[in-house]
Amino acid sequence: MKVVIIEDEKPAARRLSRMLNELHIEPIAMLHSVEEAVNWFHTNEHPDLLFLDIQLSDGLSFEIFEEVEVKSAIIFTTAYDEYALKAFKLNSVDYLLKPIDTDELENAVNQFKNSHVLTPKIGLNIEQIKDLISPYQKNYKKRFTVKIGQHLKMISVDAIECFYSENKGTNIHTIENRSYLIDETLEQLEEKLQPETFFRVNRKFFINMNAIKDIISYSNSRLKLILKTYNESEIIVSRERVKDFKNWIE
């Protein structure tokens, strides 16, 4: 099966790719904008199945259909609420609501494999759907609430240097050089953090770009990060993420 992911948030695209890998599916391309997708479809054979986010960095993904007659089956991956989804479902297209659930993803892929009924209808009322979803924008977490004894403390994301995993828990480390335990996993945070500000450098750390004090070359083509206050353990950019990290900081 040939699969392509169109998703402007690179962490979300990588997460979906890893989930597909667990289903023994290797995406042949990951595209991140309307323009990139249009150019790709003009020069490549269309895949069997397309995972398509709705809101891309340079517009709505429906604009792709205005430039290219997409011949692939489509599964939308979206954070929009159920009212917008109902409009899409009338057109017999499948949708996965973010954050994507592993079982729902597997069910959608199996449905495609078994029946191939996910072929998009060219007659989609694109303008009507645009109007329906235009009030919705991607909303990222602006603050986290942590419990301190009997009290709740609100922490703005601007005050967070990093998120890190330790002893099967996830912690926030702030610019005040304090750490707090939170309920979310790092995987869940991938869908909730602004990708222009936060980057997952390895299995244990999400880093705030504004908290980076120094970047040092490290062994095996990796990078070591020094943050402004966090110094409890080394923060190493894993080798497979170094290229994306360099693109992110630029």
% the chain with pLDDT above 70:
84
Q: What does the DSSP 8-state code read for residue 61?
A: T
Domain membership of residue 241 (yes or no) is: yes
Mean pLDDT of 64-83: 77
Same domain? For 160 and 89 the reply is no
Task: Give dist(CA 207, CA 5) in Å, integer.
Answer: 25
Where a domain ends, among 133, 156, 189? 133
Same domain? For 189 and 100 the reply is no
Same domain? For 122 and 12 the reply is yes
Domain membership of residue 21 (yes or no) is: yes
Domain membership of residue 138 (yes or no) is: no
Mean pLDDT of 232-237: 94
Q: With 60 as the cut, is the pLDDT of residue 130 above it?
A: no
Same domain? For 112 and 200 the reply is no
CATH number at residue 10: 3.40.50.2300
What pLDDT, on the 0 to 100 scale, is given for residue 75?
85
What pLDDT, on the 0 to 100 scale, is given for residue 208?
96
Same domain? For 128 and 150 the reply is no
Q: With 60 as the cut, is the pLDDT of residue 124 above it?
A: no
Q: Which domain holds residue 227?
A: 143-249
The single-letter code of the amino acid at 134 is: S
Quote the tokens at residue 182. Answer: 């939170």
CB 75 within 8 A of CB 27: no
pLDDT band at 58 (very low <50, low <70, confident <90, very high): confident
Least confident of 37-41, 90-94, 185-189, 210-214: 90-94
Please report where in the chains the tokens 């095996």 appear, as a residue.
220
What pLDDT, on the 0 to 100 scale, is given for residue 87?
44
> How many domains does one find in the chain?
2
Comparing CA positions, the residue from 191, 209, 106 lying closest to residue 140 is: 191
Where a domain ends, among 78, 111, 133? 133
Task: Give dist(CA 198, CA 95) in Å, integer.
Answer: 27
Sequence-ordered list of residues with C-beta below 8 angstroms from that of 77, at least 6 positions apart, any chain: 7, 12, 16, 51, 52, 53, 95, 96, 98, 100
In the chain the first and final C-alpha atoms are separated, in Å, by 35
Task: Give dist(CA 78, CA 38) in Å, integer.
Answer: 20
Same domain? For 77 and 187 the reply is no
What pLDDT, on the 0 to 100 scale, is given for residue 43?
93
Mean pLDDT of 167-171: 92
Where a domain ends, among 133, 155, 180? 133
Quote the tokens at residue 132. Answer: 């329906």
Mean pLDDT of 61-70: 84
Q: What does the DSSP 8-state code read for residue 203?
A: S
Task: Give dist(CA 54, CA 51) in Å, integer.
Answer: 10
Please report where in the chains the tokens 């480390």 appear, as a residue.
173
Mean pLDDT of 19-27: 93
Q: With 80 as the cut, is the pLDDT of residue 116 above it?
A: no
Same domain? For 113 and 148 the reply is no
CATH number at residue 186: 2.40.50.1020
Same domain? For 126 and 227 the reply is no
Mean pLDDT of 221-234: 94
pLDDT band at 56 (very low <50, low <70, confident <90, very high): confident
Quote the tokens at residue 106. Answer: 């597997």
Comparing CA positions, the residue from 186, 231, 241, 175 lying closest to residue 208 is: 175
Q: Report the mean per-residue pLDDT for the chain.
A: 84
Q: With 80 as the cut, is the pLDDT of residue 224 above it?
A: yes
Domain membership of residue 186 (yes or no) is: yes
Q: With 50 as the cut, is the pLDDT of residue 119 above it?
A: no
CB 223 within 8 A of CB 234: no
% the chain with pLDDT above 90:
48
Mean pLDDT of 46-75: 85
Quote the tokens at residue 228. Answer: 């402004």
Among 3-12, 88-97, 207-216, name the most confident range: 207-216
